[in-house]
Amino acid sequence: MAISIDLKAPETRTAFGEQALAASPASARAASDERPSLIGLSRDELGEALGAIGVPHRQVKMRVAQLWHWLYVRGVSNFSLMANVSKELREKLDAAYTIARPEIVTEQVSVDGTRKWVLRFPAKGAGRPVEIETVYIPEEGRGTLCVSSQVGCTLTCTFCHTGTQRLVRNLTPDEIVGQLLLARDRLGDFPDAATPAGAIVPSEGRLVSNVVMMGMGEPLYNFDNVKTALAVVSDGEGLALSKRRITLSTSGVVPMIEKTGAEMGVMLAISLHAVRDELRDELVPINKKYPLKDLLEACRAYPGLSNAKRITFEYVMLKGVNDSPEDARELVRLLKGIPAKINLIPFNPWPGSRYECSAWDEIERFADYVNQAGYASPIRTPRGRDIFAACGQLKSESERLRKKDREALEAAAG
Ligand code: SF4
């Protein structure tokens, strides 16, 4: 059974929940905070922010280095903990800026150790507070964080629950980096922090060792913010996640693919799911604009591509739709000459979805074929299905909470 941690209900607390409650007051403040965040700024922008509160020019470089260390190596979310920064400057920083984490609306832990957070970010400008979902998947030797880039999505991939939610807005760099900081807080992945008792995490190494931009939204429709955020995440003197351990997944925004390789230099994944334009037009409608031929051409030209730096092609297995031996053969033919991995994803159903998952023996037959053709093609074990945290299922929890709120309001109104 999944553990659901309701931060507002102490009676449902578990060993995990106590930590969630402890995090709650600060994060609740974050939701109504109008101070700009220092998280996710480049070093130059951080220097400008310091200059704006009167830090002398000759000190800026040193102060930026100090802050960078506190924010991204020590993982503090409170200026008062920055021991080598003078009290006067800490107070000035606190008056002008925030480094608070996003508000945790819920945290759920699956039986398999997968964790899903529904996070709330403050309104930007005239907008409203927004909610997104972030998922942590622990495995032997690695811990992967699936990060969202947008609230909702403009694309309407028919197998994906997020695709049924209209786009509300892009996430800003602080909101993208904030998801990683929050996950590392909650998992105890910063120095001096404790991992919650009973949490399933990798037995050695970093608890969040990989980041995949595969949560809610199309990251290449929020290119600048994603680029800024990933530069902070991969900065060697801070969070220091190697670009080899950061994967950006796109539904196929062809004109941005080359730019992604050249300017971000991260690993690329393509949400492929079909090998014929007719079917891909239905499953991944952006295909009507950028058909398979153009998409695969852009993949062939991806900067830095080699056998050590392969593109991952995501392929969701839909019963009777894209799982035939002919599909497997066509997949191998299409990818010929591209250093590639194929991730076969058993379909994860969500309320109202129109597809079913392929039978297990069909998935294995498909995998055998592409493996024999020389492509490493692991079948991705479904993770976090009991908390709707699996691939394509994001939205379910925030949708459920909204429905609950609506019902409560209607009941109160009589
Ligand atoms: S698969 Fe990605 S791009 Fe497609 S609807 Fe879902 S979130 Fe959007």
Note whether 68 and 120 are same-domain residues. Answer: no
For residue 170, pLDDT beyond 70: yes
Q: How far is the CA of 139 from the centre of ligand 1 (A)?
A: 24
- Residue 197 is predicted with a pLDDT of 86
In a domain, 146, yes or no: yes
Positive or negative, the Cα torsion across 275, 276, 282, 286? positive
pLDDT of 11 over the 50 cut: no
85 in a domain, yes or no? yes
404 pLDDT band, cuts 50/70/90, is: low
Report the CATH number that the domain containing residue 260 is assigned in CATH. Answer: 3.20.20.70
Nearest-CA residue for ligand 1 atom 5 is 163
pLDDT at 8 over 70: no
Q: What is the pLDDT of residue 103?
A: 96
pTM, entire model: 0.88
* Domain C-terminal end among 82, 99, 116: 99
Specify the pLDDT at position 20. Answer: 40
Mean pLDDT of the chain: 88
pLDDT tens digits, one per residue of 178-193: 999 999 999 999 998 8
Same domain for 292 and 224, yes or no, is yes
- Report CA(301)–ligand 1 centroid distance (Å): 23
Per-residue pLDDT, averaged over 227-253, amounts to 97
Q: pLDDT band for position 275 (50/70/90)?
A: very high
Rounded Cα distance between 325 and 314, Å, is 17
pLDDT at 410: 65
Question: Between residues 189 and 412, which one has the greater pLDDT?
Answer: 189
Ligand 1 center to 156 CA (angstroms): 6
Kindly state whether residues 142 and 167 are assigned to the same domain: yes
Task: Write out the binding residues for S-adenosyl-L-methionine.
Answer: 217-218, 249, 271-273, 348
Determine contact, residues 247/213, Cβ cutoff 8 Å. Answer: yes
Q: Which of 134, 154, 156, 160 gets mutated to test ligand 1 (max ligand atoms within 8 A of its CB)? A: 160
pLDDT tens-digit map of 81-100: 999 999 999 999 999 999 99
How many angstroms is it from 286 CA to the middle of ligand 1?
Answer: 10
- Does one domain contain both 68 and 216? no
Q: Whose CA is nearest to atom 7 of ligand 1?
A: 217
Rounded to whole angstroms, the Cα distance separating 56 from 62 reads: 11
Catalytic residue among 103, 107, 131, 133: 133
Lowest mean pLDDT among 11-25, 262-276, 397-411: 11-25
Q: Which residue minimizes the CA distance to atom 4 of ligand 1?
A: 157
Helices then strands, counting H and E runs in the chain, come out as 12, 12
* Residue range 286-296: mean pLDDT, rounded: 98
Catalytic (active site) residue 133: yes
Quick one: 147 and 55 in the same domain? no
Strand spans (E) along 191-331:
210-213, 246-250, 267-271, 311-317
Q: What's the maximum distance between 2 C-alpha atoms anywhere in the chain? A: 69
CA distances from 398 to 24, 104, 123, 295 (A): 18, 12, 17, 32
Question: Which pLDDT score is estimated for 7?
Answer: 43
- Asked if 124 and 66 sit in the same domain, the reply is no
Instruction: Kindly list the protein residues whose Cβ atom lies closer than 6 A to any atom of ligand 1.
Output: 153, 155-157, 160, 162-163, 216-218, 251, 271
Same domain for 266 and 347? yes
- Among the candidates 79, 99, 119, a domain finishes at 99
- Does 159 map to a domain? yes
* 201 lies in the same domain as 55: no
Quickly state the pLDDT bin for 195 (edges 50, 70, 90).
Answer: very high
Is 86 part of any domain? yes
Please enumerate, by residue number, every residue annotated as part of a binding site for [4Fe-4S] cluster. 153, 157, 160
The annotation places the binding site at: 153, 157, 160, 217-218, 249, 271-273, 348
Does position 42 have pLDDT exceeding 90, yes or no?
yes
Task: Report if residue 94 sits inside a domain.
Answer: yes
Structural domain contains residue 62: yes
Which listed residue (146, 299, 357, 391) is catalytic?
391
Inform me whether the pLDDT recorded for 16 exceeds 60: no
Q: Please check whether residues 335 and 389 belong to one and the same domain.
A: yes
Domain residue limits at 385: 103-405
Confidence of residue 24 (pLDDT cuts 50, 70, 90): very low
Instruction: Please indicate, yes or no, whether residues 82 and 171 belong to a single structural domain of this protein.
Output: no
Which of 154, 156, 162 has the most ligand 1 atoms within 8 A of CB, as the residue to mutate?
162
Residue 5 lies in a domain: no
Q: What is the pLDDT of residues 99-151, one digit of tens each?
A: 999 999 999 999 999 999 999 998 887 778 999 999 999 999 999 999 999 99
Spatial distance between the Cα atoms of 33 and 123, rounded to a whole number of angstroms? 9
What digits encode the pLDDT tens for the residues 293-340? 999 999 999 999 999 999 999 999 999 999 999 999 999 999 999 999
Examine the pLDDT at 394 and tell me if it is beyond 70.
no
Same domain, 60 and 197: no
pLDDT bin (cut points 50, 70, 90) of residue 31 is: low
Is 86 in the same domain as 138? no
In this prediction, residues 277-293 reach a mean pLDDT of: 97
Q: Which two tokens stand for residue 337?
A: 């000459």
Total domains, the chain: 2
Nearest of 121, 140, 123, 141 to residue 131 by alpha carbon: 121
Q: How far is the CA of 164 from the centre of ligand 1 (A)?
A: 9
Q: Is residue 3 part of a domain?
A: no
CATH number at residue 92: 1.10.150.530
Atom of ligand 1 nearest to the CA of 250: 3
Helical (H) or strand (E) element with 340: strand 340-346
Which of 80, 99, 118 is at the close of a domain? 99
To the query of whether residue 357 is one of the catalytic residues in this protein, the response is: no
pLDDT grade, residue 1 (50/70/90)? very low
